[in-house]
A and B are shown apart, each in its own frame.
Chain A
């Protein structure tokens, strides 16, 4: 699934070659999940004060998982495609040259929305340090990727567990067209709808930026309500549960009542789980609305209006019609293509979707939905 990723795309769907589609709608893929990487932590040094650089050199990262890196060893180095390691050294995702050659040019990506993971400060115990690293990561993305390559849009990484600092970071960056989204992780210290995070949503709404909620992060709690699973397969298959916490909390806390223009994009959690969750929340709301009287509408209505999801890693039923049912129930205008480049479970935009997906639907997912969500001008 990663060794044979093509260096050049071969037309595999009708839509891209279909002469009836106007030229300007062909192959303009918007990719909602691209991961840039540092060549080394020194890439952040120019953007850190001496105080925080020395702090990092001395104390390193201390995350709420109790580890300096991820607590589950990945299935392969840096969870990346083995062909994505740059000749010039550095981790997959750190070479703009290779990213262009292997990804942007090869697939005709019009825009790739960056989502930096790794050293971004987002799960750090020390919130001051988190803020400094997040801000440096934002400078680094712009200087290393968006400035030399306008197809790549940076994310405003925010130290979300310090919401005031996060809102300041958004205000500082929002007018810069290099940035296309606010970037959080799904495992925050508290469920994402809790009031402590509202300054972030206020700032995002104020500036018309979507809030991307990418899976991962360390909350300080076990990764599931039932404790720590043993295996990476469980962690990776379980990301949808942290996405369910995000959606449930945003809805039930009334975030979308308070911020009626807020857009939230759930990234890398798949999407097959959303219909069942939505039906569940609607039923529970019928019985228990007296507990949440601040909600003026059914949960499904808030979800339909405010939530988007990136497609990768897509659930794969044996019968693709079951996948299309799920897409239909979510809404064809809510799904955004994502490749997850350069990670091992990369989705090829020309091969990831099962045969039989109507071409106008594919076009929505690959192109037009992204244009409606992200600020891409």
Chain B
């Protein structure tokens, strides 16, 4: 088994969420006092309920595999021989309404990742968590850590206050492009507003299902606002999106564009072309029927072998056993998914830290 995944790059791994107290150890005196004095001892969002079976796969839960770099290594990196894993910390920095708190917790989260994870295992890489509430402070955070090449991506959520293509966010993309960071958009919400355009659903299962719709919005926004015209080197990675929603949405967006493109005259190409050049998707979860029956036809809809990135989505329970990839992939495509596509997406990954 190990041979199949030798040197693979796992593009979506989640460390167990730190507590505010653990993060406060990476804050300056003022913010450490703030956390203490104001009693910020719990800061959890409604995403990924801690005890829900989906949140941590049962065998990994039992082994506490997500609690430490050693646990992660035993569960995946050592076991399968992965070359790298990219950490996406989902501590809900985005949920703060106060951008000062958001910036303080984003800095602390990134420093915690560097000290508690990246320093402990040279195979680990990470995304920089951004205080997206403030584009200016997000840029400051990118500049602060740009020299640490173990950070390969900047991380935002699929649902925030405004669609990501809006020009208020462009300084973030300018900084990301300048330093060779990919823009990672991960499933999740700031929960500053309802997760659907029809309000709040009753169940977590609906919330998670709705994340795919969040990706529709973000992709449409990034393309239609002209982000890829303005930042031609920017790569966007849609993380934990489900994948198979993408082609039908692009068919629709491209058809709309043919009809109403006078509204967005800066788009000099079809939305499908922008997507193929700039958009990448992690391959867990992969929303497909059981078995191998339709997988080839679903993947053919992408019209590209460059877009998919291997990911386990550790420790979320997306697959059983070792079924990390869809069945029946051709060897060349598998090699691209496991290694080459990630190297092309994350230029910082190929350089020594």
Residue from the list A232, A240, A344 in contact with B252, Cβ < 8 A = A240
The distance from the CB of B83 to the nearest CB of chain A, in whole angstroms, is: 28
Name B113-150 residues within 8 Å CB distance of A.
Answer: none
B294 touches A329 (CB 8 A): yes
A-B Cβ contacts below 8 A, count: 237
The distance from the CB of B333 to the nearest CB of chain A, in whole angstroms, is: 18
B297 at the interface (CB under 8 A from A): yes
Nearest A residue to B267 via CB reads A233
Residue from the list B54, B208, B216, B259 in contact with A345, Cβ < 8 A = B259
A229 touches B217 (CB 8 A): yes
Residue from the list A230, A270, A316 in contact with B224, Cβ < 8 A = A230
B163 touches A224 (CB 8 A): yes
Residues of B within 8 A of A172 (CB): none
Residues of B within 8 A of A233 (CB): 220, 224, 253, 256-257, 260-261, 263-264
Residue from the list A242, A282, A345 in contact with B198, Cβ < 8 A = A242
B18 at the interface (CB under 8 A from A): no
The distance from the CB of B158 to the nearest CB of chain A, in whole angstroms, is: 7
The distance from the CB of B45 to the nearest CB of chain A, in whole angstroms, is: 14
- A228-247 contact mask (Cβ, 8 Å, vs B): 1 or 0: 11111110111011101110
A223 at the interface (CB under 8 A from B): yes
A238 touches B54 (CB 8 A): no
A344 touches B201 (CB 8 A): no
A241 touches B204 (CB 8 A): no
Residues of B within 8 A of A290 (CB): 53
Nearest B residue to A284 via CB reads B205
A89 to B301, CA, bound (A): 46
Name A55-77 residues within 8 Å CB distance of B.
Answer: 75
Binds B, one of A5-13, A202-210, A214-222: A214-222
Name B212-251 residues within 8 Å CB distance of A.
Answer: 212-214, 216-218, 220-221, 224-225, 242, 244-245, 247-249, 251
The distance from the CB of B256 to the nearest CB of chain A, in whole angstroms, is: 5
Residues of A within 8 A of B303 (CB): 318
Residue from the list B54, B195, B197, B258 in contact with A223, Cβ < 8 A = B197
A189 at the interface (CB under 8 A from B): yes
The distance from the CB of B287 to the nearest CB of chain A, in whole angstroms, is: 4
- A308-332 contact mask (Cβ, 8 Å, vs B): 1 or 0: 0000010111100011011001000
A287 to B160, CA, bound (A): 26
A225 to B187, CA, bound (A): 12
Given contacts A233-B257, A238-B216, A276-B287, contact A227 B193 (CB under 8 A): yes
State the interface size on chain A (CB cutoff 8 A): 70
B220 touches A237 (CB 8 A): yes
A376 at the interface (CB under 8 A from B): no
Given contacts A75-B262, A230-B221, A288-B204, contact A245 B197 (CB under 8 A): yes
B166 at the interface (CB under 8 A from A): yes
A280 touches B209 (CB 8 A): yes
Residue from the list B209, B248, B289 in contact with A284, Cβ < 8 A = B209
B332 at the interface (CB under 8 A from A): no
A238 touches B220 (CB 8 A): yes
B343 at the interface (CB under 8 A from A): no
A295 to B17, CA, bound (A): 32
A283 to B323, CA, bound (A): 14
A227 touches B163 (CB 8 A): yes
A291 at the interface (CB under 8 A from B): yes
B196 at the interface (CB under 8 A from A): yes
Binds B, one of A45-53, A96-104, A248-256, A357-365: A248-256
B210 at the interface (CB under 8 A from A): yes
Given contacts A232-B263, A248-B206, contact A275 B200 (CB under 8 A): no
A377 at the interface (CB under 8 A from B): no
A44 to B301, CA, bound (A): 48
Residues of B within 8 A of A273 (CB): 245, 248-249
A329 to B287, CA, bound (A): 14
A186 to B199, CA, bound (A): 11
B63 at the interface (CB under 8 A from A): no
A194 at the interface (CB under 8 A from B): yes
A117 to B297, CA, bound (A): 38
Residues of B within 8 A of A272 (CB): 247-249, 251-252
A-B contact list, 16 entries, CB within 8 Å:
A219-B197, A225-B194, A225-B195, A226-B163, A230-B165, A233-B263, A248-B201, A248-B206, A253-B202, A273-B249, A277-B212, A279-B244, A280-B209, A280-B242, A280-B285, A288-B53
CB within 8 Å of A: which residues of B?
52-54, 158-166, 189, 193-206, 208-210, 212-214, 216-218, 220-221, 224-225, 242, 244-245, 247-249, 251-264, 285, 287-289, 294, 297, 300-301, 303, 317
Besides the known contacts A231-B264, A253-B202, A276-B212, 16 further A-B residue pairs in the complex with CB atoms under 8 A apart: A75-B262, A192-B198, A224-B197, A230-B165, A230-B224, A236-B260, A244-B210, A276-B248, A276-B287, A277-B209, A280-B212, A284-B208, A288-B205, A291-B204, A292-B205, A317-B251
CB within 8 Å of B: which residues of A?
1, 75, 186-194, 219-234, 236-238, 240-242, 244-246, 248-249, 252-253, 270, 272-273, 275-277, 279-285, 287-288, 290-292, 313, 315-318, 322-323, 325-326, 329, 344-345
